[in-house]
Amino acid sequence: MSIIAEERAARGWTQTELAKRLGVSTSAVSQLEKAENNGTITINSLARALHPFGLVPTLQAAPDKGLRPVMWDESIVSDLIPDPVGPRKTIMDARFGNRIPTIVGECLAVGTSLTVDQLWLVADHVSVEATLEEYDRARTVAISYDKLLRLVDQNTWVPVLICPDGRRIPPPDQPGDPAAILNWAFVGIANGAGWLESLRAASALLVQHGWHWPVLPTRASFRTEWETAVGAARLAGRADQLAQLVVAASRGELR
């Protein structure tokens, strides 16, 4: 019996009762339980199904089927731009030259009511006319970016991606290979790791090995494209569109 079915039975709930709590059909609950039994349920689906019980998937609760792979065209990465001067110069550029547009792009990617001009001021340590909540959210992005780059610069950063079930995805065996680095991020996204955190970690690893930090687009109009590409990588296991956006961002074509 699946964990979903066990928890449902322990509370005396029928599939229909659980379906109402999840906001889905009874047949959808039946399919979830069958998928868990045969090991094909995704981590995200399991997490949603267990939410009414107040449970979170763990390594023991999640299906032990290994990491979900992704498919993409590695030739896309040939357009990425290495820094001819080397890693140290790339890290400095990321910390100072790319810092503000990176923070602005990340804030836009996760959603904000602040304008690009206002975000620019936040990233530049200048207060803006905005709600305290919005300002704090933007400052949190800026502070976490600065902290990451300091760790990379000090060579004390440990790159790792964490799935919702607690599994850790170690960095690629070829840490200087941009194709391997992007694939690492895409696998993380496909297996439920935060998409922004995964792309940021990949960007930091690229910078650490002398490649440019791919700056997310600083126009809110590109948010839909990012969400669509990330969704394809996560749900369909295809990362070509996401890879194209990452490469275009690194070339400064998404401003």
> Where does 213-253 have alpha helices with state H?
223-231, 240-250
Q: What is the pLDDT of residue 64?
A: 53
In this structure, which amino acid lies at residue 80?
L
Q: What is the pTM of this model?
A: 0.71
Q: Which residue has the tokens 């820094």?
A: 83
d(CA 98, CA 248): 15
**What's the rounded Cα separation, in Å, for the pair 115 and 132?**
15
Q: What is the pLDDT of residue 198?
A: 92
**Alpha helix positions (H), the chain:** 3-10, 15-22, 26-38, 43-50, 87-92, 99-110, 116-123, 132-153, 178-190, 195-208, 223-231, 240-250
Spatial distance between the Cα atoms of 255 and 249, rounded to a whole number of angstroms: 8
Q: Which pLDDT does position 210 carry in this prediction?
A: 92
pLDDT of residue 59: 45
- Residue-level pLDDT, tens digit, the chain, 255 residues: 578 888 888 889 999 999 999 999 999 999 888 887 776 777 678 778 888 888 776 544 444 567 888 899 999 988 888 889 989 999 998 888 888 888 888 888 888 888 888 888 888 877 777 778 888 888 888 888 999 999 889 888 888 888 887 788 888 888 789 999 999 999 999 888 888 889 999 999 999 999 988 888 777 777 788 888 888 888 878 899 899 988 888 887 766
Q: Is 21 helix (H, G, I), strand (E, B) or coil?
A: helix
